[in-house]
A and B are shown apart, each in its own frame.
Chain A
Amino acid sequence: MDINPRTRLTAAACILVAVVVIYFFVDPASTALAPRCHFKALTGLDCPGCGFQRALHAALHGNFATAWACNPALFFFIPVAGLYAFTELMPRRAGRLRRVLISPAAIIALALAFVAWWVLRNFTPSDC
């Protein structure tokens, strides 16, 4: 799809601000309307993202220990997503970093890291 980069950037920024505002003021643990994980409902197991909303809410209030307990992947995902966003938005400065990040090895490593995290978290107790 051919969307003007500026439109794309504006839309992304609006969504980002909306998400931050919503999760700052709304506690997903006490709201019935927060999206629930289907995987957990069906299997009883945690998916890689379970606890992410609670973690985001806690982190936005500065409770990083709670956020870590709910979903440590938050602290991994945000820097990684930021890095990819930077390389996409400023390819001139990113240069070599961009080529590393879009290499097959980097993508496979990221995917394996998340699968490993998915398995691991179901064997470790969570006190969220």
Chain B
Amino acid sequence: MKIWIYLNGIQQGPYSLDELADMPVKASTPVWYEGLPQWLPAGEAPATASLFAAEQSPQSPHTEAPRPEPAATPAFEARTAQAAAQAQLPPCPPTFIVWGIFLLICCCVPGGIIAIIFSALTSSAYSRGNYDRARRMSEYAEWTVIISIVLGLVSIPFGWMLWI
């Protein structure tokens, strides 16, 4: 399972459940994984709650434990509007910007330009909080890169002919 976390003001991941167990994740740390409708505190998300259940049960076998660190969640919510909007989203889909520049460098200029335009569209859609569009643009960028590389490899022999 791939789990993303929001720790120290930075969105990080994906990690496996085992990796999370070794990290300074608290019950109040926001987490998200495929299938969760939104970010949840790690102590409340079904997949990660087990990490904390083991720690808490010996301490409070009889009484209802007070909510761990209630101050942490409001602090998280009180971030700037953009960061909060992004925190509700899964991580930014890949932009393939290095691939776009790679295509430019490899003389595959048209493909490179198209791929970079899709990179920019991915990034700007994500920064406006439109995750679906960002993902679509990311897929377009990926396919542009794949098609360009295949066409580029196929056309190498034609390049030799042009120079003869």
Contacts and interface: CB of A to CB of B under 8 A. Distances in A.
A95 to B, nearest CB: 4
Q: By CB atoms of chain B within 10 A, which of A33, A38, A81, A96 has the most?
A: A38
Secondary structure class of chain A's binding surface, majority of residues: helix
Instruction: Give the residue among A50, A88, A102, A108 with the most B Cβ atoms within 10 A.
Output: A102
A95 B12 contact: yes
Interface stretch (A21-29, A39-47, A59-67): A39-47
A26 B77 CA distance: 57
Given A49-B105, A114-B104, A42 B120 contact: no
Q: What's the dominant secondary structure at chain B's contact region?
A: helix
A108 B116 CA distance: 8
Of the candidates B95, B104, B106, the one having the most CB atoms from chain A within 10 angstroms of its own CB is: B104
Interface residues of A, number: 38
A77 B105 contact: yes
Contact of A85 (B98, B101, B120, B158): B98
Contact of B106 (A52, A80, A104): A52
B107 interface: yes
A1 B142 contact: yes
A102 B12 CA distance: 14
B158 A77 contact: no
Interface residues of B, number: 34
Contacts of A33: 160
Given A103-B127, A107-B120, A91 B162 contact: no
A73 B101 CA distance: 11
A114 B113 CA distance: 10
Given A38-B159, A96-B10, A48 B120 contact: no
B101 A77 contact: yes
A80 B99 CA distance: 12
A80 B107 CA distance: 18
A40 B158 CA distance: 13
Interface of B: 8, 10, 12-13, 92, 94-95, 97-98, 100-102, 104-107, 109, 113, 116-117, 119-120, 123-124, 126-127, 142, 155-156, 158-160, 162-163
Interface of A: 1, 32-33, 35-42, 47-50, 52, 73, 77, 80-81, 84-85, 88, 91-92, 95-96, 99, 102-104, 106-108, 110-111, 114, 118
